[in-house]
Amino acid sequence: MTFKDLRLKRKLVKTLAEKGYESPTPIQQRSIPAVIKKRDVIGSAQTGTGKTAAFALPTIHRLSRAKKRVRCLALTPTRELAVQVFEQFSAYSAATSLTCTIIYGGVGYKQQLEDLEKIPDIVVATPGRLLDHIDRGNLTLENVEILILDEVDRMLDLGFIDDVKNIERMCSYNKRQTLLFSATIPESVRKLAEWALKDPEEIIIGERKSPAQTVDHSIWPVDPLQKFNLMVALIEKHQIESMIIFCRTRHGSDRIARWLQEHKYPVSVMHSDLKQSDRLRALRDFKEGVNTILVATDIASRGLDIKGVTHVINYDVPQHAEDYVHRIGRTGRAQTQGMAFTLASPEENAEIARIEKYIDGEIQRRKLDDFSYRYDPIPQSKPVRKKRNRGFQR
């Protein structure tokens, strides 16, 4: 199947060919026709499956020409995801007259105000700052024809449910189309979907709970005191071009980053205690390869599309089983092979058990051959006693 077969406008097909996209991914194959037919959509697909283009392309197709009204609102849970969605909307709409603006918190109002004064066709926003602008009368949502709610599970985790509901109510255009995307669709997301969507087409691609098949993921049992040394040994052993290390806490990420810097590794750090400008710089340095290692909390585990991440290390086992799938999904994206190592101390066995239950499979335990463990991390099972020879001959 090609993008042309999906009946996208010629300009869009040309832009995609220039970007080197050869064929639509499975979620795009199903979502693009549904959106073009003006259906509401509830979509779930694993990270890195082309989810953003699955809603951005048919939206651009439908809006087609600039009309000096805000006609599409894409709501995302985090600023980083907003940047990513905005970048894709801007790239795909480059050959059209549509204009696109991004609105998020943690930065000044001036630029955003100037952008809103020009009345963009497409607004990509995080909920809090968007509501601020609406309160100040800087934009209205009454002409929004297409409302996109992205990474809704994360949006609800972050406590945005009331904001999302408020914003949804403000999008009062009577023929509004709503597209809801979420990596997973738990009951809370389904409830919101029932509330905001009309007779949606449900598109579920692949196993919702399983890690991508392109990720080789394993558990490395280790004494907590040896975690850092084992991690350094793993980094040394593998040719790591681009790696994300996930830590549970902000404090933990700072500490690991500092230790790695002391070992002369080029490191960026990203967590929610940092200023927005520092977060964006950390991400940019990592994306551009200035720093090959990004140490982060779960703020980076969902949705962020960073090309060419070859390895993920979970320095701490994630507390929520879903986060395991999100974290290791940062590598092995778009058909490339990735590796994910989870360092697990005995105290984290309960979390590991929860993850294995969630993904419905056992994760392979591995140990590093020439590393001097304080104790055997994977003790051999007891030797099988030979059956007594009772004198029978074979």
What count of other Cβ atoms lies within 10 Å of the Cβ of residue 143?
19
Task: Say which DSSP state 146 is in.
Answer: E
* Residue list 278-307, contact with ligand AMP (CB under 6 A): 305
Candidates 15, 25, 78, 297: give the one binding ligand AMP (CB under 6 A): 25
| Residue carrying the six token digits 């002391």 | 262
Token pair of 232 as six digits = 């350094």
Closer by beta carbon to ligand AMP, 256 or else 309: 309
Candidates 6, 12, 21, 144: give the one binding ligand AMP (CB under 6 A): 21
Q: Mask: binding to ligand AMP, 329-348, rule CB under 6 A, as x and -?
A: ----xx--------------
Q: Write down the number of H helices and E strands in the chain.
A: 14, 14
Instruction: Classify 371 as helix, strand or coil.
Output: coil
Closer by beta carbon to ligand AMP, 52 or else 101: 52
CB of 212 to ligand AMP, least distance (A): 11
* Residue list 302-321, contact with ligand AMP (CB under 6 A): 305
Closer by beta carbon to ligand AMP, 279 or else 333: 333
d(CA 196, CA 174): 13
CB of 196 to ligand AMP, least distance (A): 21
Amino acid at residue number 144: V
CB of 137 to ligand AMP, least distance (A): 33
* Residue list 180-219, contact with ligand AMP (CB under 6 A): none
**Three-point CA angle 214, 212, 193, nearest 5°:** 155
CB of 285 to ligand AMP, least distance (A): 19
Nearest to 173 by CA among 198, 200, 201, 203: 198
Report whether 323 contacts 331 (CB < 8 A): no
d(CA 29, CA 43): 12
Q: Mask: binding to ligand AMP, 40-69, rule CB under 6 A, as x and -?
A: --------xxxxxx----------------
Closer by beta carbon to ligand AMP, 21 or else 160: 21
Closer by beta carbon to ligand AMP, 53 or else 294: 53
Q: Is 120 in the site for ligand AMP (CB under 6 A)?
A: no
Candidates 8, 12, 15, 24: give the one binding ligand AMP (CB under 6 A): 24
CB of 305 to ligand AMP, least distance (A): 4
Task: Say which DSSP state 148 is in.
Answer: E
Q: Show Cβ contacts of residue 370 under 8 Å, excluding neighbours closer than 6 positions.
A: none
Nearest to 153 by CA among 257, 61, 51: 51
Residues in binding contact with ligand AMP, number by CB under 6 A:
13
Closer by beta carbon to ligand AMP, 231 or else 325: 325
CB of 22 to ligand AMP, least distance (A): 6
CB of 49 to ligand AMP, least distance (A): 5
Nearest to 117 by CA among 136, 131, 104: 136
Q: Is 17 in the site for ligand AMP (CB under 6 A)?
A: no
First to last CA, the chain: 61
Closer by beta carbon to ligand AMP, 214 or else 345: 214
CB of 385 to ligand AMP, least distance (A): 53
Cα dihedral 359→40→171→71 (10° resolution): 110
CB of 85 to ligand AMP, least distance (A): 8
Q: Is 78 in the site for ligand AMP (CB under 6 A)?
A: no
d(CA 359, CA 256): 28
Report whether 217 contacts 211 (CB < 8 A): yes
Catalog residues that contact ligand AMP under the rule CB under 6 A: 21, 24-25, 28, 48-53, 305, 333-334
